Chain A
Amino acid sequence: MKTVDARGQACPKPLIAAKKALAEMPAGETLTILIDNPTSRQNVERFLRDNGMSPRWTEENGVFTLTVAKPAGELAKPDAESYCRTDSRAGHVIVFASNRMGDGSDELGELLIKSLINIIAETSPLPSHIVFYNSGIFLAVEGSTLIDSLRELEKKGVRLLVCGTCLQYYGRTDSLRVGTISNMYEILQTMTDAGHVVKP
């Protein structure tokens, strides 16, 4: 059994140490990794899973202990460093599936979504992406009072994806004023890759 003590280390160090230890071990042997930050634990776990392993982990007093058996053969996804998410902006995705927020009064829903979108720029961390589909596209087209706020977010590096099918359905393809036209593949992949999805 081999142990890697990555306590006190932030990504990408635990990932690199795990990869190195796996390379030096025979197949079938158990690797134990000690990590004390949740982000690294998540990243290392994803790296191990993508390489066909099923890590188990326990937590005690803020220290995570991952155990995994080394599989036979080469690693399918050997690029450990790419699993590192140190950029806080890579964390979450906001999805606007409607141009209203909440159910009940449409008028209130309109007010709420405006007040939310107008303050996203001053909250931290920023989302990596904002996705718009179905009536959510109306937030990004001509006539929306939110174009300026959304443009500000784009300037700050937030990627705005607006569903092309929805734009076409509502006859607004030429009225898009912010963001890029996207499709279900990109939208689904974006939501899948997100640390978490925020649906106001």
Chain B
Amino acid sequence: MADCGVVLFHTTSAAFGAEKALIRAGIKCALIPVPRELSTDCGIAMRFDWPDRENVIRILQEAGVEIAGTHKTERRH
């Protein structure tokens, strides 16, 4: 089971911005509800493959998307 990570956000608009930026960059990503063991203000997170972490952070920084951190999670299925 591949390790995944999630990017957390303070706002839903940041989540949207992240999706746009990552899709444009061709990075595999999926908007999901924040995993139960974590918590955020807006309840939406972006799941990505953990090996892509550095790219994800860089792309979001360059796109001006504010994030509330990244966490490693285990795929539940």
Contacts and interface: CB of A to CB of B under 8 A. Distances in A.
Interface in B1-55: 12, 15-16, 19, 23, 28, 30-33, 44, 47
A116 B15 CA distance: 15
B76 interface: yes
Contacts of B12: 108, 111
Given A118-B47, A145-B23, A111 B77 contact: no
A151 interface: no
Interface range on chain A (Cβ under 8 Å from partner): 10 to 19
Contacts of A118: 30-32, 47
Given A114-B31, A115-B32, A148-B30, A107 B16 contact: yes
Interface residues of B, number: 15
B30 A122 contact: no
Contact of A111 (B28, B30, B44, B76): B44
Is chain B's binding surface mostly helix, strand, loop or mixed? mixed
A119 B32 contact: yes
B32 A111 contact: no
A134 interface: no
A145 B12 CA distance: 17
A108 B13 CA distance: 9
B55 to A, nearest CB: 18
A51 interface: no
Contacts of B31: 111, 114-115, 118, 145
Contacts of A119: 32-33
A160 to B, nearest CB: 17
A115 B44 contact: yes
Contacts of B76: 122
Nearest to B31: A114
A163 B77 CA distance: 29
Given A108-B12, A121-B77, A145 B19 contact: yes
Interface string A116-152: 1011011000000000000000000000010011000
A52 to B, nearest CB: 44
30 contacts: A107-B16, A108-B12, A111-B12, A111-B15, A111-B16, A111-B31, A111-B44, A114-B30, A114-B31, A115-B31, A115-B32, A115-B33, A115-B44, A118-B30, A118-B31, A118-B32, A118-B47, A119-B32, A119-B33, A121-B77, A122-B75, A122-B76, A122-B77, A145-B19, A145-B23, A145-B30, A145-B31, A148-B28, A148-B30, A149-B30
Top-8 shortest CB links A-B: A122-B76, A122-B77, A118-B30, A114-B31, A118-B32, A115-B33, A115-B31, A121-B77
